[in-house]
Amino acid sequence: MSRIVYVNGSYKPYHNAAVHVEDRGFQFADGVYEVIAIIDGRLVDEEGHLVRLERNLDELRIDHPMSRAALRVVFAETIRRNRVRHGSLYVQITRGAARREFPFPEAIRPTLVAIARSLDWAKVAANAAKGVAAITAPDLRWARCDIKSVGLLPAALAKQAAKEAGAYEAWLVDEAGLVTEGSSSNAWIVTRDGVLVTRQLDRAILSGITRSAILALAAAEGLRVEQRGFTPEEAFAAREAFVSSTTSFVMPITSLDGRPIGNGAPGLLAGKLRLLYEAYAGSQAAGSLPSAPYLAP
């Protein structure tokens, strides 16, 4: 558990860290967040996450709490104070605290919170080696899923349904019968012809930072890629499937709704992309590689 939390200009003990009872993030889900991987004490794709964070603040017309350079200092200090070598940094910015009224209050100061936690990347790798299960669920989220909003109740309900089914993730299916993304990840399949398929960027999915890096790695390897929607039936007929996210990297999906994907084991392409991404993430955290380009819808 985190020992020190950054809250609005101060580093506070975890159990004493708090925000105002009328913070709009608490009352209206009026805020955005980012989760950034930490490897060897350094952030992976920090630039891409900062660009996306600023873009999402602008989309919701929330003032930036500080400059990008100042945010980098806060991030680094939060990691240092918590002595996190491998893990993740959670950052949340809300519009701030004010009397509860629906219109945006004037002259309000944004709330900024940062939490660094250690994660067992070996456990994540063990899951990837054996593969994980997924289920499908209706996509009940709002129409601006391209914004990484803290309004996550539909995603939480889908993730809980997956947990109760003994699955790792839920793939969300829209009214047209197409998979949008996972409850906390981007969704991918590999067709029988070896084509890598993931949904195109639009307002129905989040432009994942890990997703962007995988696309860049796939292009460098000369892999065939299609950015389009796909149905659960296409997934059942696929050679392999996987999800991508900050804390799962590339995670093979070996069954969907209780039915095996491919031969029911992690696929070769997912394994290759995971190895490529692990090398990229390690080098990027060390500063020897630039961030993958952030792509907005």
What would the pLDDT profile of 145-171 be if each residue is shown by its tens digit? Answer: 999 999 999 999 999 999 999 999 999
Do 177 and 223 belong together in one domain?
Answer: yes
Average pLDDT score over residue span 64-74: 98
Q: Give the pLDDT mean for 122-139.
A: 97
Residue 67 included in any domain = yes
- What is the pLDDT, as a whole number, of residue 25? 98
Residue 46: pLDDT above 60? yes
Query: Are 149 and 32 within 8 A, CB to CB?
Result: yes
How many helices (H) and strands (E) in the chain?
8, 15
Place of tokens 């899923």: 145
Listed residue (140, 136, 123) closest to 165, CA to CA = 136
* Range of the structural domain that residue 168 is part of: 124-285
Asked whether residue 42 falls in the same domain as residue 139, the answer is: no
Closest CA to 249 of 295, 200, 188: 188
Q: What percent of the chain has pLDDT over 70?
A: 99
Query: 231 is written with which tokens?
Result: 């149905």
The alpha-helical segments, DSSP class H, found in the chain are 24-28, 46-60, 68-82, 121-130, 153-164, 209-220, 232-236, 268-285
Choosing from 119, 134, 157, the residue where a domain stops is 119
Instruction: Say if residue 1's pLDDT is above 60.
Output: no
* Residues labelled as active-site residues: 148
- CATH number where 183 lies: 3.20.10.10
82 lies in a domain?
A: yes
Of 45-49, 128-132, 250-254, 290-294, the one with minimum mean pLDDT is: 290-294
pLDDT value at residue 119: 95
* Neighbour tally for 262: CB within 10 Å: 23
Distance, CA of 180 to CA of 206 (rounded, Å): 9
Range scoring the smallest mean pLDDT among 8-22, 150-164, 193-207, 279-293? 279-293
Residue ending a domain, choose from 90, 119, 148: 119
**Same domain, yes or no: 167 and 109:** no
Residue 293 lies in a domain: no
In the numeric block, which tokens belong to residue 9? Answer: 């200009």
Question: How does residue 285 score in pLDDT terms, banded at 50, 70 and 90?
Answer: confident
Same domain, 222 and 169: yes
CA 247 to chain centre: 7
Q: Say yes or no: 40 and 186 in one domain.
A: no
Residue 2: which pLDDT band, with cuts at 50, 70 and 90? low
26 within some domain: yes
Domain co-membership, 87 together with 217: no
For the record, the structure tokens of 154 come out as 């539909």
Pair of tokens at residue 120: 């067992």
Side chain identity at residue 56, one-letter code = N
Could you count the other beta carbons within 10 Å of the beta carbon of residue 212?
21
| Same domain flag for 147 and 263 | yes
